[in-house]
Structure 1
Amino acid sequence: MIEVKDAIKVIKSNLKPKEDTKTIDIINSINMVSAQDIYSPIDNPPFDRSPYDGYAYDANINRNELTVVGEIYAGEIFKGVLHRNESVKIMTGAKIPNGANCVIKKEDVSVINENKIIVNKNLKMYDNYIFKGEDIPKNQLIIRKGDIISYESIGILASLGIKEISVYDNLKIGILNTGTEIQELDEILEDGKIFDSNRYILHSRLLKRNIEPVIIDKVEDEIEELESKIKNILKNVDILITTGGVSVGDKDLVPKAFKNLGGKELFWKVKAKPGGACCASVLDEKLLFGLSGSPHASGVVYENILVPVIEYMSHKDSYNTIKAIFKGNFNKKAKIDRYLNGRLYTEDAKLYVEMTDKKDAKARLWATLNSNCMIKVKKGSILEDDQLVEVVII
């Protein structure tokens, strides 16, 4: 039995981040990790342009009355060259014409007629003037290898005309739910059986991390069938997550199956409550991870061990814990770290967290419905009102 932090370390020391890459359209790249340094192929903006609706002219004018010799809308250009004391009516975003070096806002002029205006404000050269490449110059590094693609970076890529980029491929993850007692949702529930909720919880948790499980299957508590399923799934995945069968009962066969298939055992059981009953092995540079069959217990280990490992193997490092002010009390000491369902909220510009678990409940799936985090209670500790606590965002 090892500490949660040590479980993460030992898995990382036996696995490497996935190096497979793929080229994708930027519209599908949100939350992916760039596999390349990306430089701007053009200046942005690609020309000198106006930030306002108004009039473009040469600031070195001799008089305040200007002749209007044309107009430019965004997407259009003025083909001539402005002379001193001439102006062009210009719209926001339009290219500033040759001969002009400033733009006066529409509200700062008096229109005599369609061909004449009076400038009511003195401007200097390059007032109200956006230069070519002012935002992003050509050849500037805009995204580094290893950066997570955000909607902001997608917008920048699009503005530069970059349609496709190279990213690290998603991990291929399989889910195998074990247990003779589990049934499909479209089956009539038999006495002594339960519906398979773990499949849907894990699937959804992976989707939240931008990962679509490639295989989802179930198997009864029979060692030969279990080993056969594991062996076949491993051909197509980087990580296999199983649920159930990891404790010490007669039908807890997952650790044995991992071992029989040649897996190198990394650990069996961690110092966490709930969720301590779990196991991890490595086989052919692939992770086999057995979670508890209890949805809440498996969730604790998933968020606190598997998420950091998945992020590591995906070239990410966004696993996040924060501090919050605890409201309420919890006076039940444990010999190992305990994780409680909780709800983060803000009040008076402060971050608070309260427990959503019933203090002595064993079945705790309902409490997760109104939860958005887990509260860590360190071994031998209790929680008191207004105490600062560590919180894992889920």
Structure 2
Amino acid sequence: MSRFRMFPTPAQHGAMLEQCRHARFVWNLALEQWSMWTSDKGPTPNFGGQCRQLTAARAAFDWLRAGSQTVQQQALRDFDQALKNFHARTHRRPTWRKSGRHEGFRIVGSQASRIVKLNRKWAQVLVPKVGWVRVRLSRAIPPAGSYRITRDRTDRWHIAFAAIPPPILAPGTGEVVGVDRGITISAALSNGELLVCPGLSETEQVRLKHLQRRLARGRRGSNRRRRVRAAIAKLHGRAADRGKDWVEKTSTDLARRYDVIRVEDLRVARMTRRPKPRHDAARPDQYRPNGRRAKAKLNRGILANGWANLVTRLEQKSPGRVEKVNPAYTSQTCSVCGHCAPENRKNQAVFRCLACGHEANADVNAAVNIAAGWAVSARRETPLRASPKREPQPATSA
């Protein structure tokens, strides 16, 4: 998508929030109808039936009729697509949309093309029931048949046009690069480059800790606690923006420089799950320590470095040129002689082979193994690194 920042006036801000409330109400109403429907009532109403029910509801309630019919119908369309994805087993079950977390609506059809460019930096979009809203131009607006307006937790409005950009063409040099993802070093390349995803600075981390302490002392429902929560959300949003910007720039750079990009085949969603509770057999009402605090810190590090987002954007920008390699023992295997042992990796940063004495950065050594596509079996047996065109040799008798 192509996303742009919006700058509504205070009156437009309230009008767009009202549109978000209407879209959220229609979605939750459709979800409630679907979840509470029983078999004795016949088939569940489809999108057309729900649109007819929406027309009757708009005729009965003035506050619903005051909103945009396009916004409310697109909420039903989104819910219908969510149901199709759920039944196709590609997505999870549709959930409730909450205030302050799911703020947004979609515009389609001829209304989505009402965009006027003011100058090189600014444009304006005619939002139904809202008016002309200013948009900051960071790139050219692509031709699209629809757009979605969203509001994040830091009270910023964005407009995203549903236009898929063309993939990045391969340079044609035949070069292959391996990418090893980590916590301290976000991405280590097989050519020796070490890339770090930027986050909050030391000053911002101190301020975040100070604000979290103020939040813990605040009284629930007070205005001061609300302001502290907004300040914390602003810091978290700043860190998320920096991470997304780093992922976009890094993925674009790798797609332009290399023909083949090899990464570890990691299941990040499973890796970042919280540990299961451990029941105490001696005390049924108690639980044993399960290391959830250490695991939570590891999960935060993985998510902050954008492991999954980096690979996803690489696959989208360079389709067919991203290869996933088995990650087994890539950090313990020497990239020179192939010797595999846990003792080869001295610590987080230093790799020293016990067999040949090769010494290098541990992440770079793993990236070289990933670039070569070398995998080690569960027995830690390194496959023979011979040419695949070599004829098989007869076995010698003892």
TM bucket, shorter chain: under 0.3
Taking structure 1 as the reference length, the TM-score comes to 0.24
Taking structure 2 as the reference length, the TM-score comes to 0.24
Structure with max Cα Rg: 1
- Bigger share in strand: 1
- Bigger share in helix: 2
